[in-house]
Structures are given as C-alpha cells and as structure tokens.
C-alpha cells in the first residue's frame, strides 16, 4: 500500500503532492514501482496535527481520486474517518476506506461503509492526534490492542459490514510508545490469531524508529523502515503501508521468499 498524502503538513515527506496533477503523477509512478494499492490522505493524522473540515478534505482528495479512476489498474483507498468524505470518495471510485479511528470519531462512518460495499481498514488508536500519547498505557499491548480492535470489528459487523471485507491495523505509533510499537511487531502472529483477519502494518518513517536509529528526520528513516517492513512480512502481515515504494517492494519480495520457505 503506497502512501499518497495530499496535505501540506505531512510529517514524512516534502509537500509536493498537494496539487492534484502532481499527486496523480506520483500515484502513477507508485503503481509503476510496484504498489498494489494507493492510499490517498487529505488530513494529516500525525500526533499533534490540526484537524481539517470534511469540505477541505474533500477538496484535496476528490480531484485526485477522480483523476486516477480509469488510469490506475490497482485499487484506490482513501484514508479518512469522516462519513461524508468516505461516501463521496467511494462515489468517485475509491475501493477501500482506511479509518485510523476504528469507528471512534464519526458515528455515521460504519453505516456509510456498509452501504458502499467497499473494503475497510480498521486501525487501533486511542484519543485524538493531540492527546494520544497520554493514553499509551497498556497492561499487555497485544491483548489490549486485540480487544479494542474486536470492539471496532463488532461495530462494523453490527452496521452490516461483512467480516470478509475487514482488514485490521494495530496502529504502529498511534497511542503507543516505541516499546509498544516494537512489541506489536514482535508479536504480530498473536494479533493475527486473535482477530482472524488480514493484517495491515504501517511503520513507514515513523518516530518509533528513532529508538533504534537515533534522532534522524523522517526522510532519513527508510533503512529503519525496511527492517520493520521485513519483520512485519516475516511475522505474517498481509499489507504494508509505505512511502518509498520501489525500495520497499524489494524488501517485501525478499521477505516473502523467506516466509514461503519457513517450516
């Protein structure tokens, strides 16, 4: 899953894809580099980010989705927690809604996704971007994350979303200290066994990597990202969400070959 941020305040890349034409060109390059899904985000959800209105998010996202439909051969996901953005994006051609809130922010999102029939990513998080680290307290990170994702999954199924349409994301870096994020990666098979759904992992360029690689800026964390991506694939992740597509495709392909031969 290739990350395509159409925001002026992305933590992990230069903001050169806000213009729809530039974003469309970038998405086409990502597909050529080997991406299987393009994930378009119109609001930064990094810790401390300022929320934007649904109207502003739509103004950023919809021209890109519409411009890519018919050009891309791979599915388009939209990274949003707002029901209005989800509905309009699906109408424009998106095939996946990626919700960082796990249905905690917008009570209408579950029904919007249910009516649309598209695939759904439910990510684990706590709080909002400005206060999430205050809630990074766990008795057992895998048990707690699994239990809270089960709540999100139940809300989805109760709204009429088939379980087969759901992908779960443990939320690396969201309401998690570095030790929690590394713990999730180390114990990913336990999460997969507990939830019995495909797992998406998004470690790309995140701040938890600094615990191992030092205080490097986000754009210099691709080697650390590569290690986390390899670990995730070897642990059974079905999807990895990344910025540096061409490089991480190589990492994934090698890790897949290793995993294929594991006893």
Q: What is the pLDDT of residues 141-191, one digit of tens each?
A: 999 999 999 999 999 999 999 999 999 999 999 999 999 999 999 999 999
For residue 2, which phi and psi values (nearest 5 degrees)? Answer: -90, 135
- For residue range 5-49, list pLDDT tens digits in order: 998 866 655 555 678 999 999 999 999 999 999 999 999 877 677
Query: Do residues 27 and 233 touch, judged by C-beta distance below 8 A?
Result: no
The CATH number given to whatever domain includes residue 183 is 3.20.20.20
Tokens of 113: 């996704």
CA distance 191 to 168: 10
What is the span of the domain harbouring residue 156?
2-260
Does 136 have pLDDT greater than 70? Answer: yes
pLDDT for 18: 75
CA distance 201 to 58: 25
- For residue range 48-97, list pLDDT tens digits in order: 778 899 999 999 999 999 999 999 999 999 999 999 999 999 999 999 99
Q: Which of 38-47, 98-107, 222-231, 237-246 has the lowest mean pLDDT?
A: 38-47
Residues assigned a catalytic role: 206, 241
Tokens of 54: 């649904």
Adjacent-strand bridge partners of 169: 123
pLDDT for 51: 86
pLDDT for 248: 98
CA distance 166 to 172: 18
CA distance 194 to 85: 31
Query: Measuring CA to CA, how many Å separate 5 from each of 46, 86, 104?
Result: 12, 16, 22
CA distance 210 to 148: 27
What's the number of domains the chain is made of? 1
pLDDT for 9: 65
Mean pLDDT value across residues 232-251? 98
pLDDT for 158: 98
Which residues, including other chains, have CB under 8 Å from residue 95's CB and lie 6 or more apart? 75, 76, 77, 118, 119
Which residues, including other chains, have CB under 8 Å from residue 235's CB and lie 6 or more apart? 185, 186, 188, 189
pLDDT for 8: 82
Query: Do residues 208 and 178 touch, judged by C-beta distance below 8 A?
Result: yes
Tokens of 132: 């999430």
């Amino acid at each position: 899953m290739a990350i395509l941020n159409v925001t002026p305040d992305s933590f992990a890349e230069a903001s050169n894809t806000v213009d729809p034409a530039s974003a469309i060109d970038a998405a086409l390059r990502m597909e050529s580099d080997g991406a299987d899904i393009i994930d378009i985000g119109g609001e930064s959800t990094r810790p401390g980010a300022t929320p934007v209105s649904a109207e502003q998010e739509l103004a950023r996202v919809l021209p890109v989705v519409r411009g890519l439909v018919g050009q891309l051969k791979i599915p388009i996901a939209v990274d949003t927690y707002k029901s209005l953005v989800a509905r309009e994006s699906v109408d424009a051609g998106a095939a996946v809604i990626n919700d960082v809130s796990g249905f905690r922010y917008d009570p209408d999102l579950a029904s919007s996704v249910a009516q649309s029939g598209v695939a759904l990513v439910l990510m684990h998080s706590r709080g909002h971007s400005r206060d999430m680290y205050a809630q990074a307290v766990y008795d057992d990170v895998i048990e707690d994350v699994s239990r809270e994702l089960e709540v999100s999954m139940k809300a989805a199924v109760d709204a009429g979303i088939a379980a087969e349409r759901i992908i779960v994301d443990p939320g690396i870096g969201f309401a998690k200290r570095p030790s929690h994020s590394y713990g999730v990666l180390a114990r990913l098979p336990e999460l997969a066994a507990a939830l019995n759904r495909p797992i998406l992992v998004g470690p790309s360029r995140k701040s938890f990597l600094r615990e191992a690689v030092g205080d490097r800026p986000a754009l210099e964390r691709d080697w650390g990202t590569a290690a986390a991506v390899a670990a995730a694939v070897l642990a059974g992740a079905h999807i990895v969400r990344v910025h540096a597509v061409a490089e991480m495709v190589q990492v994934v392909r090698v890790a897949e070959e290793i995993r294929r031969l594991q006893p």
